């Protein structure tokens, strides 16, 4: 669910805002780190170097818009649903034959499970689905009518996106199959394909709840696990709700996002209703949460929610959408006092698209968002990193731009998240209702299997999948300049000791890297291509020719011996 505008009409405003933020950040300069950790404990003889203790850091997440991925079962499509306000296949027409769609299009759990091997083979280890809880069955008759390319208008839309819950405990009828409920789905993904499941959690709102010419079933209503009505907006504007009416008490009496019901987190029963539903989905096999619109709900809710979830499921990983380009702003959720919830790296998303949408860009423009030292985040290595999603225009890059972006995303700090279709540059540059949410479908999945973006993505993602250093190593930057970047990722934790040297080339020509800084002696093996090796003696350089729009990852599976590198790692270790 988007909450900050990203339409082109606001780009100027955006840029100005980002500029202001950059200046503020520069001035803020040396904010104290949230906590520092002594790099060593007494019962190890070796120093420990790593990004985070959270095991989720090893994952890479493929993001699926459930209704728009693959229709694996026609029997759950309900094309006749909705009566005079149908909800299936509602096209929006743009100029030049372009289309978008705000109706259900058939995607379901079967379609995802059928392609579990495809997703796993690409190098991903987890799948985030847009919400699968029950939503209303008609298109919304109130609000302002949505048109092609429109945003912040819900009139005429169905709940195909899943963010309009009417029952937080029930799966929507469009997603399961007769022999595939959510629990079977999560266990099959895990057992058959080694894929974890990320469940999309909403606490801010239910469905559109007022302005309907005639009140509609499920809109503005909430049902519990026994299908009992527990809250009802009754098509009244928020200010007309009666705080003494038990059916109104789950809602704020002020509007928040368009006509969506604004859930009242100060109500203890509402908190129980929501938090118990999240716990229920963990029982059904959810391994992690993605949290929608977190900044619209106060910290006290997230403190309680995180505490109650982690009391039963210690270290349960959650990452949130705080749609904002200020690191200082989004970082507040990562602090332990606010629930210790990771966030999607929106400042990173902005920097990554700026760099990879333009061939004249400079790698050094990626450095500011990393916040490896003196940053506002509880731990920058736990952030989920991405370049686009369903709420914003798809990255508007060439095939090689996508390839270069993926080479960066899967080697730099953070947990990569890739939106379905980016492996073919699907609908690049298009906003949510200009085509970025269009049905992907099995035909495009088949096409992807030989697509150059997909092939390069699978190449680097599978290197990350097998490299603890790329997953969780401290990032030590060497040179970021023009089309070239070089950095180490170093992990020394428990039995694991690995250094990865990453060499990125986003130019069209082969580039010769000559690396001597912090270089350790020993055997280095290049993991992206043919596993060439180089044996480096002390004082020598590592020389590598990296093809255009490509990456080398040279790996050394030994402890760090270079004293200057050790000192740099100890310094970095203290900042997270």
Helix H or strand E encompassing 478: strand 474-481
The answer to the question of residue 200 lying near Ca ion (CB under 5 A) is: no
The answer to the question of residue 137 lying near Ca ion (CB under 5 A) is: yes
Whether the CB-CB separation of 510 and 547 falls below 8 Å is answered with: yes
Task: Pick the closer one to Ca ion by CB: 217 or 242.
Answer: 217
Site string for Ca ion, 278-307 (x = CB under 5 A): ------------------x-----------
Distance CA 541, CA 501 (A): 12
Token couple for 359: 């061939």
The answer to the question of residue 256 lying near Ca ion (CB under 5 A) is: yes
Helix H or strand E encompassing 470: helix 468-472
Whether the CB-CB separation of 100 and 94 falls below 8 Å is answered with: yes
Nearest to 344 by CA among 300, 288, 262: 288
Task: Pick the closer one to Ca ion by CB: 73 or 200.
Answer: 73
In the complex, minimum distance from the CB of residue 525 to Ca ion, in angstroms, rounded to a whole number: 45
The answer to the question of residue 204 lying near Ca ion (CB under 5 A) is: yes
Distance CA 62, CA 418 (A): 5
The answer to the question of residue 406 lying near Ca ion (CB under 5 A) is: no
Of 67, 73, 391, 423, the one binding Ca ion (CB under 5 A) is 73
Of 77, 101, 197, 422, the one binding Ca ion (CB under 5 A) is 77
In the complex, minimum distance from the CB of residue 189 to Ca ion, in angstroms, rounded to a whole number: 17
Please give the backbone phi and psi of residue 190, each rounded to the nearest 5 degrees, phi first: -70, -50
Task: Pick the closer one to Ca ion by CB: 164 or 554.
Answer: 164
Whether the CB-CB separation of 548 and 507 falls below 8 Å is answered with: yes
Count of residues that bind Ca ion according to CB under 5 A: 13
The answer to the question of residue 224 lying near Ca ion (CB under 5 A) is: no
3-state helix, strand, coil in the chain (%, to 5): 30, 20, 45
Give CA 454 to chain center in angstroms: 19
In the complex, minimum distance from the CB of residue 86 to Ca ion, in angstroms, rounded to a whole number: 13
Nearest to 61 by CA among 475, 345, 328, 267: 345
In the complex, minimum distance from the CB of residue 77 to Ca ion, in angstroms, rounded to a whole number: 5
Distance CA 503, CA 219 (A): 53
Report the SS3 class of residue 363: helix
DSSP assignment, residue 394?
P
Whether the CB-CB separation of 142 and 213 falls below 8 Å is answered with: yes
Task: Pick the closer one to Ca ion by CB: 134 or 391.
Answer: 134
In the complex, minimum distance from the CB of residue 221 to Ca ion, in angstroms, rounded to a whole number: 12
Site string for Ca ion, 313-352 (x = CB under 5 A): ----------------------------------------
In the complex, minimum distance from the CB of residue 251 to Ca ion, in angstroms, rounded to a whole number: 10
Residue 262 falls in which region: left (phi positive, over 0), alpha (psi -120 to 50) or beta: beta
The answer to the question of residue 76 lying near Ca ion (CB under 5 A) is: yes
Task: Pick the closer one to Ca ion by CB: 71 or 232.
Answer: 71
Task: Pick the closer one to Ca ion by CB: 121 or 304.
Answer: 304
Site string for Ca ion, 104-133 (x = CB under 5 A): --x-x-------------------------
Which residues contact Ca ion (rule: CB under 5 A)? 71, 73, 76-77, 106, 108, 134, 137, 172, 204, 256, 262, 296
């Amino acid at each position: 669910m988007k909450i900050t505008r990203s339409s082109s009409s606001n780009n100027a405003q955006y840029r100005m805002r980002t500029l202001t933020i950059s200046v503020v950040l520069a001035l803020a300069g040396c904010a104290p780190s949230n906590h520092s950790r002594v790099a060593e404990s007494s019962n190890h003889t070796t120093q420990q170097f790593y990004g985070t203790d959270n095991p989720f850091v090893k994952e890479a997440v493929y993001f699926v818009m459930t209704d728009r991925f693959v229709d694996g079962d026609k029997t759950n499509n309900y094309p006749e649903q909705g009566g005079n306000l149908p909800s299936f296949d509602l096209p929006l027409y743009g100029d030049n034959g372009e289309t978008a769609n705000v109706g259900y299009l058939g995607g379901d759990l079967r379609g995802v499970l059928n392609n579990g091997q495809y997703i796993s083979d690409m190098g991903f280890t987890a799948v985030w689905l847009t919400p699968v809880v029950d939503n209303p069955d008609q298109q919304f008759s109130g609000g302002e009518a949505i048109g092609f390319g429109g945003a912040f208008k819900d009139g005429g839309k169905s709940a195909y996106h899943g963010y309009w819950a009417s029952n937080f405990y029930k799966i929507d009828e469009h997603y399961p199959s007769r022999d595939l409920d959510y629990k079977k789905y999560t266990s099959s993904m895990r057992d058959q394909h080694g894929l974890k499941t990320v469940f999309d959690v909403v606490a801010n709102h239910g469905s559109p709840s007022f302005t309907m010419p005639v009140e509609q079933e499920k809109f503005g209503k909430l049902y519990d696990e026994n299908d009992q009505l527990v809250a009802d907006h009754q098509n009244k504007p928020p200010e007309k709700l009666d705080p003494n009416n038990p059916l109104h008490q789950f809602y704020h009496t002020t509007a928040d996002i368009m006509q969506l019901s604004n859930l009242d987190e100060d109500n203890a029963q509402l908190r129980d209703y929501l938090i118990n539903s999240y716990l229920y989905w963990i029982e059904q096999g959810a391994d992690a949460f993605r949290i929608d619109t977190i900044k619209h709900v106060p910290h006290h809710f997230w403190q309680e929610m995180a505490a109650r979830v982690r009391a039963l499921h210690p270290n349960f990983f959650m990452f949130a959408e705080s749609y904002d380009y200020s690191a200082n702003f989004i970082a507040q959720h990562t602090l332990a006092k606010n629930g210790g919830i990771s966030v999607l790296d929106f400042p990173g998303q902005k920097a990554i698209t700026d760099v990879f949408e333009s061939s004249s860009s400079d790698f050094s423009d990626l450095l500011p968002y990393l916040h490896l030292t003196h940053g506002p985040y509880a731990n920058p290595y736990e952030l989920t990193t991405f370049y686009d999603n369903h709420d914003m225009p798809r990255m508007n890059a060439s095939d090689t731009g996508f390839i270069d972006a993926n080479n960066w995303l899967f080697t730099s700090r953070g947990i990569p998240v890739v939106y379905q279709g980016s492996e073919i540059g699907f609908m690049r540059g298009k906003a949510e209702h200009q085509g970025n949410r269009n049905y992907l479908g099995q035909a495009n999945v088949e096409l992807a299997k030989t697509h150059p973006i997909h092939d390069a993505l699978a190449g680097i993602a599978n290197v990350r999948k097998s490299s603890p250093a790329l997953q969780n190593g401290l990032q030590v930057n060497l040179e970021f300049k023009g089309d070239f970047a070089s950095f180490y990722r170093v992990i020394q934790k428990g039995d694991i000791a690995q250094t990865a040297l990453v060499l990125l080339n986003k130019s069209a020509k082969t580039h010769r890297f000559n690396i001597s800084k912090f270089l350790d002696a020993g055997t280095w093996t290049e993991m992206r291509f043919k596993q060439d090796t180089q044996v480096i003696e002390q004082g020598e350089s590592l020389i590598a020719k990296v093809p255009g729009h490509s990456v080398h990852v040279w790996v050394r599976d030994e402890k760090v011996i270079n004293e200057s590198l050790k000192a740099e790692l100890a310094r970095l270790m203290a900042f997270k």
